[in-house]
Chain A
């Protein structure tokens, strides 16, 4: 061997983290020796900040999916490296083997001190967390993992373990090669990560590599003050100078540092002292936070030492075992239980240690050792064969029974979706370590599942002066990825404490850091697989929801990705307490009520800054003169600066709410349900510069006609009615100029046969050209109204309240261009 066995493991480890400047020649040992400490910049293979696998792949729009950026059945693997050579014999103690007590001498652990696994094996006393996994049948102990012609150099052996290839001079690692297959040429900063500094060899692939993620607060990049943002912007601008080959790369490394840190900052606590001091607790807590963050990470690696107990082993090894246990406990204390069936942990070390203790109260470099694989879907038990070592002389080492390639293949094929023969070359025995695949049943950490929403009693409508229920910008805590905001409704502002069946609320996503969606659903119920708002950075995105209220009087807003603020404004509610002040609904044939561009229904000219313009509603577009509230789709068009539009009952003070938010040039629609004010009018104003507004009527509440045969609303558990991408509800085909699609609603998705109108959240995506989607009752002519105004590349959603037409169906059309359409049912109207 070239270096003494006792080169410190830190040094050996530094050898095995990547040097991306490697030459194209065959890697000679000299260069191998220079594979030291520092890895590639986190982004040197990135497509750009914020890009994920899904952004890059065609057709994957996270906004319309209920699951996170990785599929519900994609497993997450956490790899724990024990650097220096862990004494396997003192980790899984062979309590029934007298040779152990003989040879390990006063290092041996008495049977009574171990945590019993079975008659022959006990765990090191510190490993209480692993004992708990064993007792649940979720710990696999794989005995005798090693490889032929074992090498006792930290250096060489660690290289073999990380490479997944126990010979030659490696330039890639097993997880890196898996990543090559998984990413298949696309780039993703957040598919695999090492928590620590540098990127170790096992995360280096041929094309892809893992990202180094800090195990301390990400410093640089996480600040958000205007001063810091100005500084970061300056650094971004510097990156584009091109004065030489490394110029761009270092500029990019600076930007990537900022971007990775900024992206990760929300998942770390605010101050360093909120992270554990102890290394493995800190690293594994961060790992769990990153899993919870749902960034798309499939593999997370951590490691630490020093396990190289040539001397002073009792204190040293006990400390390591305690740290391992604490780290594991910390991980599961932090991990959101919903991830339990999707996460597996495994250990490795470059070798075990000698069976014979040496003269210095320690052991020397060994070979085969047991390793752990554990998690909710692991099939607990003993695997491999415990080495027999009674006849070993000093310095002789135990035989292996499980080749490390088989160990890895079992995890690759059982948990990471396969590909072991490509990654490892050849076919290696799959030990079948898993009781179920990721996400599948499995035994879970105890959680109480939520019941699905059972639907509401029939309710009549009460319009309110618009009021803001929540603004997370004022509470200071944005919704994180996977975060849920509970919004109390009953008893808030003018909403009564009892009898409330559903609420009409405008929900707005503001300051989103990345593309995401909101799902709104009744509080305390199981989150449905629907979405209400598709948002992204750069603009506030509003949508009206008509949604059932949970048993606790609240609704909940779930955020899929990234960090975003949320506003919720209430416009009215439905109550099962029929009586004065409650109104029924009548759906109308969609009709344009006003258009400031042409002067129809309103004075012509743009709507200026905070200058209300009044619009006659009662007595127009089918709305009777005694109606109390109108359902109106409000579209802003041709704004020249960011702003918002607001509808208020005429004659009342404008409420601190908004209906439509827009950026310059946006055409943005949103459904509004507004109480009619003085003279049956509404007032329209807004902040921002001049803009035009269009309003289409879809129905009204209240008045004699409504009392006679209007409908009451019933909220349902939200459900997907239509998805033209995969053939839900209609044949899989885009909606376009040549074809409208008619979709039965009555009798579908919880809507009864005699429903008269439906409340749908309609979204469009894969938009071919600027166009708009119209929704109308089946069997009638296509009206001149619009529900969704679209630009190519957009994903936009809007609430639609539509009368059911012939056959209890509605029709979706797009006169100008093709797009895919999705629709979720939230509620329906029915008389009685």
Chain B
């Protein structure tokens, strides 16, 4: 759809097009969808498959932006050319040039209007300034701003006090009707699957919503979170579910995070407040949706004090259900449908490793932590980001697809890790050897 509308726009779009004339998938993802088509503003475009009216809207929007898109293509080519020699080129991803090129096209219009002749100093200066801006909004600038903010003694003492008080006031663990929790969690995990896949799935799907409501309303997340904080074993989770086994901390017992600290930590609950905020800023492509720095720090302090170190009951419930999903994998007798789907992903992954003659685990000593720690770490980081941006999943379908999507990305990480490990074992050229070119460890590192 987008492809044919793109082709009809005519020449001048080559820098943003694939060799066959269609748009690059990056163009679609970073320019056309978020900046031109904007499905959030055009409800007809929100569905994965467009109805007739949606098709017309796509045609109209693309045609209306014809000049802007041509200008974007020209600016993009210029930005990429300057990027190669820009002093901060390592901090600027090529991806960030797509929306920036669109911004320049909107602000300055056609490159040709600004720059009669090539090279043109005005256009070159604008492109360089735009790259400086990208570099500033990422990396160093962010870390420096954070350091400056925390250098203010008033803010520092306010945050410190808030953190100490908040951490200490966590209430004791409530006794809770465990059977209710277990039933609700199992019902929810059993409601996964495609509509129409089997009769069982169709019967189980309507139970997802009431089960989720029960989990959230009964505060299963808060209760288990408090138990983890107290280093008790929350019985709704299978033994040995303690924070350390779940990979959320490396300490024997979760400890109050520092306000800031030098060492980057592997586990999310061991990271300082400043490190958590920095993580948010660096991974955010659109910083306009984030609140300002002081608000972010205050919110982060409050978050750290809460059960599971997240702010919302939805996030906590997701962490409980996610824990049940990954810790339940080794025991096929107790598998729910969600477990079977995830086990299916693992089987397909090992099938793929065989079909492509790739390793199934990194060469060297076997890793025994399995997917539990990587899964929960990633789920926590996703929820952390989603809370700050207000993009928590809504509705059971989104919740289910988040739980499965995190597992998929853990598997994909595993793929690139083992390939990198294997690349290291390939020898260097030496005497009597014809070089086959540089080994490429980044291959396989997708997503």
Q: Do A and B bind each other?
A: no
Binding site for B on A (CB under 8 A): none
